[in-house]
Structure 1
Amino acid sequence: MHVDRFQTLVLNADFRPLSYFPLSLWGWQDAVKAVFLDRVNIIAEYEHEIHSPSIKMRLPSVISLREYVKMDRRPAFTRFNVFLRDGFTCQYCGDRYHAEWLTFDHVMPRSRGGRTTWENVVAACQSCNLVKSNRTPEECAMPVLRPARVPTAYELQKNGRRFPPNFLHESWNDYLYWDSELED
């Protein structure tokens, strides 16, 4: 495996991932730099080693930050976060789609004074967005399944756990919980 393919799972100081979707991963160069700057603790390592003239080290596969990063801030208003809030589901027909098949829909159309805010934007499939056009949900008999609202960072993290990435290294499994209940 080429060295550039080694990614490092980044955990907060409480040993929880900084984010689940996208999963908090750093490239091996950033992880090694953080180790040498004493900003992280190495929790697990790959078998693969890197070398310099004076140092040999195994690449970190899991690291934790030394200082806790507070996560209860208001999430950024981005297209991706709207899709994540809505579970990659069209808020008109209820079907789930990949992000590239979803659009941003203004519940109150911009042409009628609707603003681009958490409270007025939902995920919509392209078909529903075309049918709705510049009308309100009431005018076209397409009620919104869940009202548009500002999610918490915790809600986005929880929703992100429903969409595990394609690749999970075995050393990450003890730190990731993909909708599984832990035994008492």
Structure 2
Amino acid sequence: MHASLNECPALVLNADFRPLSYFPLSLWSWQDSVKAVFLDRVTVLAEYDRYIHSPSREFRLPSVISLKEYVPPAKRPAFTRFNVFLRDRFDCQYCGHRFHPEELTFDHVVPRSKGGQTTWENILTACSDCNLRKGNRLPHVAKMFPRVKPHLPTVWQLQENGRGFPPNFLHQSWGDYLYWDTELDPV
């Protein structure tokens, strides 16, 4: 039995054959990838063993596509909660433990009530327990110091950090285009 079409996304590569994004992985729905093929905006590099039909044609669903025109990466990463977590590798910067994104908060190193701003250089990833323990205090008062000083990451750093967290599903056809920071099984 075949997977539903919605379980057949296409891995999207830039014109240099690198993923547009590792985390989240750059994927397009089967509808978007088919549309891009018909508009001649992408090159199909690999296909699923699934066919779709129109009244006059039958063709395989793309599983890996590359853009025909290079899209330059953003010069500066977006300042989002998720990107702060990604910069800090989902580790609480106080206790050092790794958490799932939904278990994390972000902390103002210098609290807003003490003049701290919501910037890359003052926000870090914290677990709920550590954030509650630090409270509205400065690090030296709380005796809680960040493991790594908060900083503005580069887009490249976020991409590299994202490579350390492969998604739950990777289609076999994507293997030649993705490189994860995981140990390989010996053959």
Give the TM-score range, shorter chain. Answer: over 0.9
The RMSD of aligned alpha carbons is 1.3
Tell me, in whole angstroms, the C-alpha distance in 1 between the residues paired with 2:25 and 2:74: 17
- 1:122-161 counterparts in 2 under 5 A? 122-161=124-163
The answer for the alignment partner of 1:7 in structure 2 is 9
Question: 2-side partners of 1:20 and 1:89: how far apart?
Answer: 18
- On the 8 A contact 2:164/2:182 being kept in 1, the answer is no
2:110 maps to 1:108:
yes
Aligned-partner residue type, residue 152 of structure 1? T
In 2, Cα distance between equivalents of 1:43 and 1:7:
14
Displacement after TM superposition at 1:72 (Å): 4.8
Distance in 2, matches of 1:109 and 1:50, equals 55
Q: Could you tell me which residue of structure 2 aligns to residue 17 of structure 1? A: 19
| Contact 1:72 1:154 survives alignment (8 Å) | no
| CA apart distance, 1:160 | 0.4
Contact 1:44 1:63 in 2 (8 A): yes
TM-score w.r.t. length of structure 1: 0.96
- Please tell me whether residue 38 in structure 1 is matched to residue 16 in structure 2: no
**Mapping for residues 83-102 of structure 1, pairs under 5 Å:** 83-102=85-104
Alpha-carbon deviation of 1:4?
A: 1.3
Instruction: Report SS of the residue matched to 2:44.
Output: strand
Tell me the distance in 2 between the aligned counterparts of 1:131 and 1:13: 48
2:164 aligned with 1:175, yes or no? no
Q: Contact (CA 8 Å) 1:72, 1:152: kept in 2 or not?
A: no
2: CA distance between counterparts of 1:60 and 1:26? 10
Distance in 2 (CA, whole Å) between partners of 1:17 and 1:105 is 31
Q: Is the 8 A contact 2:43 2:66 kept in 1?
A: yes
Match of residue 79 from structure 1: 81
Which letter does structure 1 place at the counterpart of 2:31?
Answer: Q
Letter in 2 for 1:54: S
Separation in 2 of the partners of 1:8 and 1:72?
22
What TM-score do you get using the length of structure 2 for normalisation? 0.94
Find the counterpart in structure 2 of residue 69 from structure 1.
71
* Regions of 4+ moved over 6 Å: none
Count of aligned residue pairs for this structure pair: 182
Distance 1:115 1:33 in 2: 44
